[in-house]
Amino acid sequence: MEQKKILITGVAGFLGSHLADRFIKEGYIVYGMDNLITGDMANIAHLMPLKDFIFYHHDVSKYVHIPGDLDYILHFASPASPIDYLKMPIQTMKVGSLGTLHLLGLAKAKKARMLIASTSEVYGDPLVNPQPEEYWGNVNPIGPRGVYDEAKRFMEALTMAYHTFHKVETRIVRIFNTYGPRMRVNDGRALPAFFSQAIENKDITVFGDGNQTRSFCYVDDLVEGIYMLLHSDYAYPVNIGNPEEITILQAAEEVLDMVKGTKSKIIHKGLPQDDPKVRRPNITKAKEILGWEPKFSRSEGFKITYEYFLKTLKK
């Protein structure tokens, strides 16, 4: 049987590299594409010698070409943490708009199925908790986070337009907070910050009173959900995330307990503008349509992630 071929954009990033691992394991030929503005070649170094992995150093905001047949496209290219998209607002908007346009054009030409990485950020600072896919969100389009939120909302609208008008096979995953090995130490998101601060005996920074909530999903669970969604028949957005909601303060305390011998203590700083006060997925659709729900407990996932950061920071 002929091998299936998949293009993964943002392949050198945290999620992209884990997805590449999964599809290589499943026997696919993987074309990986990344312009490396936030990605790291170290994440895919183990894949580079493989005959079934082909890497393209390319920015998808420019025209995208892949020779020959293509069965699937996973569009995961984009700065994804506030520290990145506040620093690179134009690139963030371009990869969500022009990048998506180029890849949908490629999907149309190749008759490939395309899955886009959307985000829980499309819900903004939600007035509904947990957030179902039918919720339209509470987003500030001109606030500092708007460059990411609106890029992803536009990305969804463009994808649905190609689906309805050009009959391109499309899938949309709305990803909630995900964590695990290969996150950047200086990523700027809560868990990498907490782990690196605790390991290095620096004070753990909690913004605001710490009562804002998040729901943390371990990366292997997310990858499984994405794999199942890609191979499903469902074209509308699906939330993939862990519905177990905890406060940011509780997450900081759990990290502190895990890092033995740390001299760190928790300190509080001002809350950034438009920071969501709640974040929790309603995963009813994922359960009913895909038969998916997270398997990893937070303690399991935190332990693996802690060991990764410990190893990374001690290098």
One-letter identity of residue 25 = K
Count CA atoms closer than 13 A to 81's CA, side-chain side. 21
Phi, psi of 211 (to 5 degrees): -85, -5
CB atoms within 10 A of CB 307: 13
The beta-strand segments (E) located in 103-261 are: 113-119, 170-175, 178-179, 204-207, 213-215, 217-218, 237-240, 245-247
Q: What are 127's two structure tokens?
A: 């007035």
Q: What are 114's two structure tokens?
A: 């395309």
- Which residues, in sequence order, are CB contacts of 157 under 8 Å at separation 6+? none
- Exposed, middle or buried: residue 234 (CB in 10 Å: 0-12, 13-18, 19+)? middle
DSSP 302: H
56 is catalytic: no
Q: Could you identify the residue written with the tokens 């892949």?
A: 66
For residues 78 and 121, the answer to whether their CB atoms sit within 8 Å is no
Q: What are 219's two structure tokens?
A: 């990366």
Distance separating alpha carbons of residues 188 and 185, to the nearest angstrom: 8
| Catalytic pick among 148, 162, 227, 306 | 148
Pairing of strands 72-75, 178-179: unpaired
Residues marked active site are found at: 148
